[in-house]
Amino acid sequence: MLPYINIPFQYASSATGASVDELKLITSFLLSYPFAGVLKRIPDAKPYQKNCFIIVVSLFYLVGLFDLWLGIRTLFISSAGAYLIASYVDGPFMPWIGFIFVMGHMSVNHTYRQFANAPSKVDITGAQMVLAMKLTAFCWNVQDGRLPQKDLADFQRERALRQLPSLLDFAGYVLFFPSLFAGPSFDFVDYRRWIETTMFEIPAGTDPSAAPKTRKKRKIPRSSTPAIIKAVIGLAWILSFLKFSRWYNSSLVLGDQYMQYGFLRRVWVLEMLGFSTRMKYYGVWYLTEGACILSGLGYKGVNPKTNKVDWDRLQNVNPWGIESAQNSRAYLENWNMNTNHWLRNYMYLRVTPKGKKPGFRASLATFVTSAFWHGFYPGYYLTFVLAAFLQTIAKNFRRHIRPFFLTPDGQRPTPYKIYYDVLSYLATQTAFCFTTAPFVLLTLPDSLLVWIRVYMYAVLGAAASMAFFASPAKPWLIKKLRERNQNALQPKEKAEHPLMGLPSDPAGDIDEAVKEIKEEVEARRRRGQSIGVPTGRDMKVAVEDKLGKKI
């Protein structure tokens, strides 16, 4: 750590109430803007200088600001391990070996942080969570590069790596300073296209007048205006968080004063606790995205409809989409968007055999991955499990209640649709402020205490809704909808993938798992195989048979 660097942060900490490390983290986000401006001005023809600059800035953050010498070792172990696995392990299991290594290493640090119990202190786990997404995706991209083109989906083909990058390019990708501590995550192909400036080539047929403006001989378009807008909004969210968190915090909902309020006010305080917590994430993600935009990596091309440059390649959150969400899917798909993409493209679709639709196994693997990626606090798991059931309930309401408020063809709202919208908005927001409270409180006793203090209203509501749709009411609703809509052409429902690793239909997944087990049992019976729990001798014989020798 640089000498005396803590002194100004200590003064600021006493004035704002934020911890020294939290203020340092915000400072690193703000410093990334001038550093990104310098990075952008390094000649396009000298990518090695860009890589070196990125590495030096990240080392300054890790050591100069936070004294995270052990953090450097942690990032090196994960990165070097993943690179070596991608280099020397051949075969279809290579990405899974990389995945187990990276996630296992991260789990060790999650466990250490949980026992240290210092949530306001910045350690390396945040950067390691971002890195885990990068490295697991990298292993899959390398594996895709070894497969025939015809065996790849469009997404895989676009991101496949036909040869391993140089160590310098890989180090620049791993330590990209604007997203080092809090994301956003991105694939290596994006980094390579950015550092080689092929990302900024204008497609043939584009209107020349719509070509983005550049300065001097740089290919990276001007991006200061969208970056500054992101920075201003991000700072506004951070300042709002510092103000609101004084009024609405964990101490309030756990203290005696909370129980002096009426039920509705307690629910309101719970909603504001969630909102004030989200402000912090909104601010952090806006600041980091703005620095990425200033460097040029946020470039997404020219929008053909508006003829303007889109800078949302690395957008990670949509606050309006969350705060105005009328169902769980809208709520979740606007939160931590790059993690959603990672879970979908590098877990949910990867465990699904080619030619088959994702099912129970894909949902379970994605759910477990998301849970382990976040850490091991019990509060995370309370949130995940309840949110999974809310997903199912929301889907049932969308399928069997919402159509009554639309015209028979499902294209236009009826005059009563506004009432459905208001009620679904209130239900979604109040259900999720209850569901996400353990994500803020973390521990099991605190989470259950706060849930009990609001009479478990979301759990009881979820149980009542599940029972309702499991009763004869559901077939009755389906019958009434058919009578109402008659032969009107209904829009097809889109296939839904898990958001944040949460299964979109837990009950359906369980039914599918039971069906698979029954089919396996029946298949074994037809083959004349016994069905039962294997004895120790049976297991020994099976192992010896696999090894080809006695044990």
Residue type, 295: S
Residue 487's contacts (CB-CB under 8 Å, 6 or more residues apart) are none
Q: Which helix (H) or strand (E) holds 440?
A: helix 437-441
CA 390 to chain CA mean position, Å: 18
At 381, list the tokens. 């798991």
DSSP 219: -
Give me the catalytic one of 105, 110, 341, 374.
374
How far is Cα 303 from Cα 86, in angstroms, rounded to an integer? 36
CA distance 444 to 217: 58
Instruction: Give the separation between CA 403 and CA 479, rounded to whole angstroms.
Output: 13
Residue 268, H or E segment = helix 263-295
CB–CB of 163/186 below 8 Å?
no
Collapsed DSSP state (helix, strand, coil) of residue 303: strand
What is the C-alpha radius of gyration for the chain, rounded to an integer number of angstroms?
26
Is 400 part of the annotated catalytic residue set?
no
Q: What is the DSSP string of 444-488?
A: HHHHHHHHHHTTTHHHHHHHHHHHHHHSTHHHHHHHHHHHHHTTP
H helix count then E strand count, the chain: 24, 2
305 close to 288: Cβ distance less than 8 angstroms: no
Residues with Cβ within 8 Å of 224's Cβ and at least 6 positions away in sequence, in order, are 37, 294
Backbone angles phi, psi at 186, to 5 degrees: -155, 165
Instruction: Please calculate the CA angle 504-508-512 and round it to the nearest 5 degrees.
Output: 125
Please give the positions annotated as active site: 374
